[in-house]
Amino acid sequence: MYGKIKEHLQDQLSQIREAGLYKTERIITSAQDAVIRLNSGEEVLNFCANNYLGLSNHPELIKAAKSALDSHGFGMSSVRFICGTTDLHKVLEAKIAEFFGTEDSILYAACFDANGGLFEPLFQEEDAIISDSLNHASIIDGVRLSKARRFRYKNADMKDLELQLQAAQDSRFRIIVTDGVFSMDGNVAPLDEIVGLARKYNALVMVDECHSAGVVGDTGRGVTERFNVRGEVDIITGTLGKAFGGAIGGFTTGKKEIIELLRQRSRPYLFSNAIPPSVVGAGIRMFEMMTETKELQNRLHRNTDYFVTKIKEAGFDIKPTKSAICAVMLYDAKLSQEFAARLLNEGIYVIGFYYPVVPNGEARIRVQLSAAHHQQHLDQAVMAFTKVGKALGVLK
């Protein structure tokens, strides 16, 4: 049976390899941190993790996870509505709502599931979903699963959004859907203008805060804080897998009827396991830490400002960033791969991105800053970029 499809799959795999799009996985033998050890034995500085607040290996979270393991065990062996809901799950859901200034929250195994299970229960044929062209794959998939009409607007382009809103005026309900921070450029969605247009055209607003929560805004509450529209966004989705500890878990938070209906109808919630107590316990501690101090946010913002200033001074061309993502533009795909490989030899671990992940001719190296970085790490990175930049003729 397997014979024919085996050849077909082998063909596909070789096509991926020939196109230079084959993804390999580097193997790490240490915990996630600013400095990581690879299986080659070498230690490198990590500038490609979503570990924005340096919480992935934080002793407080490890302690909280261990304590929840002791009190509530290893796994739930159930979806939430059968016997998978503990007191800890309820506390974490309340903490998430408190943090974002929303009414209620619902946990998922990942934000991919939160987005995947969001639209189908809420919107029907007579409704319209108006989505930013650079939204995350999970939003695209989630929108596909709903029967609503789909509209797309150019990335963060408010003129185009307005046109799409006008085109969708005859629908029963409309919702504008956007990432908070776009992961390849590090730009933020202009949420103040989006909320303004939503009011004008009577639309709901949904923001995916995966790359912005913990990062953007003075206290890390995300783009709603940055644009002073807390409480004015109907639905926020986010992850525990990036700034918030980096383990696993996603959530939707917002208006209480929406959350209540998701608990009844959202398929990834109804048909997939509850997240384990250790992850939930660490999540609770994490949100407590967020409210106790701004220290990690401050450190992240200082590190980002410092790196962006220094890399510009060195002569590199970067995308304007409003987040902890700094795209160092190289434009040429091959160059981006060569550049990243040489940086690794200099002990700097970053990834070069090129088409189709970013537009053709816009290859780049994406640097992700973290509160875990020390100034000396940032200096080392800028020095290595400069050295490789000169060697490859990017800098004069």
Catalytic residues: 183, 211, 242
Options 36, 64, 92, 111; binder of ligand PLP; rule CB under 6 A: 111
Pick one of 211, 285, 301, 366: the residue that binds ligand PLP (CB under 6 A). 211
Nearer to ligand PLP, 112 or 227 (CB): 112
Task: Tell me if 132 contacts ligand PLP by CB under 6 A.
Answer: no
H helices of the chain, where? Answer: 2-18, 59-72, 87-100, 111-116, 119-122, 137-144, 158-167, 191-200, 223-226, 256-265, 267-270, 277-292, 295-313, 333-345, 375-391
User: Cα separation of 363 and 43, whole Å?
Assistant: 26
- Residue 179 as a binder of ligand PLP (CB under 6 A): the answer is yes
User: With the CA atoms of 374, 379, 381 and 383 taken in that order, what torsion angle do they form, in degrees rounded to the nearest 10?
Assistant: -170
Looking at 104, 127, 208, 234, which residue binds ligand PLP (CB under 6 A)? Answer: 208
Is there binding between residue 210 and ligand PLP (CB under 6 A)?
yes
Nearer to ligand PLP, 132 or 339 (CB): 132
Candidates 63-71, 79-87, 208-216, 265-273: pick the segment binding ligand PLP (CB under 6 A).
Answer: 208-216
Q: Is 178 in the site for ligand PLP (CB under 6 A)?
A: no
Distances, alpha carbon 180 to alpha carbons 60, 101, 222, 225, 227, in Å: 28, 16, 7, 11, 11
Site of tokens 């946010």 = 297
Cα–Cα dist 274/80, whole Å: 5
Between the alpha carbon of residue 93 and those of residues 63, 131, 228, 284, 367, the distances in Å are 20, 27, 23, 9, 32
The helix-helix angle for 375-391 and 295-313 (nearest 10°) equals 20
Closest approach of Cβ 3 to ligand PLP, in Å?
35
CB of 221 to ligand PLP, least distance (A): 16
Nearest to 57 by CA among 35, 33, 36, 37: 33
Closest CA to 215 of 190, 194, 235, 244: 244
Cβ contacts of residue 2 below 8 Å, gap of 6+?
A: none
CB 115 → ligand PLP: shortest distance, Å?
Answer: 6
Contact between 138 and ligand PLP (CB under 6 A)?
Answer: yes
183 scored as a contact of ligand PLP (CB under 6 A): yes
Q: Which is nearer to ligand PLP, 80 or 310 (CB)?
A: 80
Task: Please choose, out of 7-15, 108-116, 157-165, 359-367, the segment that lies near ligand PLP by the rule CB under 6 A.
Answer: 108-116
Which residues lie closer than 8 Å to 9 by C-beta, 6 or more apart?
none
Among 116, 142, 190, 241, binds ligand PLP (CB under 6 A): 241
Question: Considering beta carbons, is residue 215 or 388 the nearer one to ligand PLP?
Answer: 215
When asked if residue 136 is in the footprint of ligand PLP (CB under 6 A), the reply is yes
* Number of residues in the chain: 396
Q: Lay out the site mask for ligand PLP across 329-348 (x = CB under 6 A, - = otherwise).
A: --------------------
**Closer Cβ to ligand PLP, 120 or 179, answer by number:** 179
- Segment contacting ligand PLP by CB under 6 A, of 86-94, 111-119, 278-286, 340-348: 111-119
- The token duo for 161 is 């959004």
Of the candidate residues 164, 187, 239, 272, the single one contacting ligand PLP (CB under 6 A): 239
Neighbours of 183 (CB within 10 A): 20
Binding stretches for ligand PLP (CB under 6 A): 110-112, 115, 136, 138, 179, 183, 208, 210-211, 239, 241, 250
